[in-house]
C-alpha cells in the first residue's frame, strides 16, 4: 500500500510506493547499465497485440467498429497504471496535527497511463500535430474523469517522461496522469505569487510576462494565434521551454478544441527543435493546472490556501513545461533547491528557433 508522508521541515509531501519497484524497465540491464530500448514485439506492454499485458483499458480511440475492446486497432489507449503510485480504494485520513513530527496518510487517488500511439518507435516529437492534438484531448478528458472519480483529490498532474534520463522506464511513448489528495507545495507557491501580483497590479503575472516577452523577443521560440513558446527567464535546465496560452484560464479543462490544437502544433514545433539540436535527448513534459477545491465547500484542505482571501484558483494561469535532461543536477541543487544552468535562455531560444524551422 502506498503511503503519503510530509517532511515537517520543508512541508513537501512524498509518496512512498514500494510496489513500483516491480515495474518493467526497458533501459536497465545487468549491473544497472543502460541498454537499448526494446523493439516492437519484444513483450512491450504498450504495443498492439500485447493488450493483455496491461489492465483493461479505460478508453481508446481509432478502433474500427466491430473490433474487440482491449485488442489491436487503436490509435490512443488509456489504461490504469499497473504499478500505481496512488490507489483510489484507499480510505483517506491524512493527519494534519501540527505537533506531529511525521505527518502521513494513505496515498489516495487515480493513476492512469495514456499510450500515445501504436508504433513503438514514435515519440511525442515525431507525431503529427493532429495526432498530438488528439492525445491532448484524451488527456483533458481523463483529467476531468479522474477528478470526478476521486472527489478527495486536490490536484491532478499530467506529465510525460521521455528517455531514461527523464525517468522513463518504458520506451513506448506514453503520458501519465496522477491525482493527489493534497496540493503540492510548488502549486501553493505559484498560486500565492499569482495572487500577490494580482493584488499589486490588478493583472495576471503570466499574462503580463507573456506580453513583455513578446515585446522584448530574445527568449521567444515559436508562437501561433493561441499559444506562445519561450525559454523562461530563469530556466533551470538547458533548452527548458514554457508553453503559455494567450487567453487567461486556470486549467486545461477550460480550453477550446481550437486552443488545444494550437498547443499541439506549437508543442510539436518545440519538440522538433529540441530533437534537431540534441537527437534522442530525454525530457519531461509537465502540464500545470490550478488546484481543485473540495466539492462539499470545505476548501482545499491546505492551511495556506484556505487562509487566502477570496477566489484563488481563478488567478492561476495554466501552462506547460518541457524540461530537457541535457545536464545532471548535483549536490548544490539537491541541497538548496537552486538550479545551475550553463546555457542562458537567450542562447537556448536562438538554437531552438533555428532548429524548429
Distance CA 281, CA 104 (A): 37
What's residue 311's pLDDT? 65
What's residue 34's pLDDT? 46
Q: Is 11 helix (H, G, I), strand (E, B) or coil?
A: coil
What's residue 330's pLDDT? 82
What's residue 31's pLDDT? 43
Task: Dig out the grid coordinates for 199 from the structure.
Answer: 493584488
Distance CA 145, CA 185 (A): 24
In sequence order, which ranges of 250-310 are alpha helices (DSSP H)?
257-277, 303-307
CB neighbourhood size of 6 (10 A): 20
Residue located via cell numbers 493584488 = 199
Q: How far is CA 296 from CA 87, 282, 312, in A?
A: 22, 41, 17
What's residue 352's pLDDT? 96
> Which of the following CATH numbers is that of domain 3-355: 3.30.428.10, 3.30.1540.20, 3.40.50.300, 3.30.450.20?
3.30.428.10
Residue 346 parent element (H or E): helix 345-355
What's residue 350's pLDDT? 96
What's residue 35's pLDDT? 45
Distance CA 52, CA 45 (A): 8
Stretches where the chain sits below pLDDT 50 are 30-36
Q: Is 114 helix (H, G, I), strand (E, B) or coil?
A: strand
What's residue 65's pLDDT? 92
Dump pLDDT digits (tens) for 181-195: 888 889 988 998 999
Task: Dig out the grid coordinates for 3 from the structure.
Answer: 503511503
What's residue 288's pLDDT? 95
Q: Are 107 and 242 in contact (CB under 8 A)?
A: no
What's residue 306's pLDDT? 76
What's residue 280's pLDDT? 92
Dump pLDDT digits (tens) for 107-142: 788 999 999 999 998 999 999 999 999 999 999 999
What's residue 44's pLDDT? 93
pTM assigned to the model: 0.89
What is the rounded radius of gyration, in angstroms, for the C-alpha atoms of the chain? 20
Residue located via cell numbers 526497458 = 26
Amino acid at each position: 500500500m502506498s503511503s503519503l508522508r510530509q517532511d515537517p521541515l520543508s512541508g513537501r509531501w512524498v509518496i512512498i510506493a514500494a510496489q513500483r519497484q516491480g515495474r518493467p524497465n526497458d533501459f536497465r540491464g545487468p549491473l544497472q547499465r543502460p541498454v537499448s530500448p526494446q523493439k516492437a514485439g519484444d513483450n512491450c506492454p504498450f504495443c498492439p497485440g500485447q493488450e493483455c499485458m496491461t489492465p483493461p483499458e479505460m478508453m481508446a480511440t481509432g478502433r474500427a467498429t466491430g473490433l474487440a475492446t482491449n485488442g489491436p486497432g487503436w490509435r490512443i489507449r488509456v489504461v490504469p497504471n499497473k504499478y500505481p503510485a496512488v490507489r483510489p480504494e484507499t480510505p483517506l485520513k491524512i493527519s494534519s496535527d501540527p505537533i506531529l513530527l511525521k505527518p502521513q496518510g494513505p496515498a489516495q487517488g487515480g493513476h492512469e497511463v495514456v499510450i500515445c500511439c501504436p508504433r513503438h518507435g514514435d515519440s511525442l516529437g515525431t507525431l503529427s500535430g493532429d495526432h498530438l492534438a488528439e492525445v491532448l484531448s484524451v488527456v483533458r478528458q481523463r483529467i476531468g474523469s479522474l477528478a470526478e472519480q476521486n472527489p478527495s483529490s486536490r490536484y491532478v498532474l499530467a506529465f510525460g517522461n521521455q528517455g531514461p534520463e527523464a525517468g522513463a522506464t518504458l520506451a513506448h511513448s506514453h503520458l501519465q496522469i496522477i491525482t493527489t489528495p493534497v496540493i503540492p507545495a510548488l502549486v501553493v507557491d505559484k498560486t500565492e505569487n499569482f495572487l500577490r501580483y494580482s493584488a499589486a497590479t490588478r493583472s495576471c503575472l503570466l499574462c503580463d510576462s507573456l506580453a513583455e516577452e513578446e515585446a522584448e523577443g530574445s527568449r521567444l521560440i515559436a508562437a501561433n494565434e493561441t499559444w506562445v513558446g519561450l525559454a523562461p527567464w530563469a530556466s533551470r535546465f538547458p533548452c527548458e521551454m514554457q508553453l503559455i496560452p494567450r487567453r487567461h484560464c486556470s486549467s486545461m479543462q477550460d480550453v477550446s478544441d481550437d486552443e488545444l490544437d494550437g498547443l499541439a502544433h506549437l508543442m510539436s514545433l518545440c519538440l522538433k527543435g529540441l530533437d534537431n539540436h540534441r537527437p534522442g535527448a530525454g525530457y519531461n513534459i509537465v502540464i500545470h493546472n490550478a488546484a481543485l477545491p473540495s466539492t462539499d465547500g470545505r476548501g482545499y484542505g491546505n492551511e495556506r490556501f484556505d487562509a487566502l482571501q477570496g477566489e484563488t484558483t481563478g488567478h492561476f494561469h495554466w501552462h506547460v513545461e518541457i524540461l530537457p535532461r541535457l545536464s545532471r543536477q548535483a549536490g548544490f541543487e539537491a541541497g538548496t533547491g537552486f538550479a545551475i544552468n550553463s546555457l542562458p535562455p537567450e542562447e537556448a531560444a536562438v538554437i531552438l528557433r533555428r532548429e524548429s524551422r
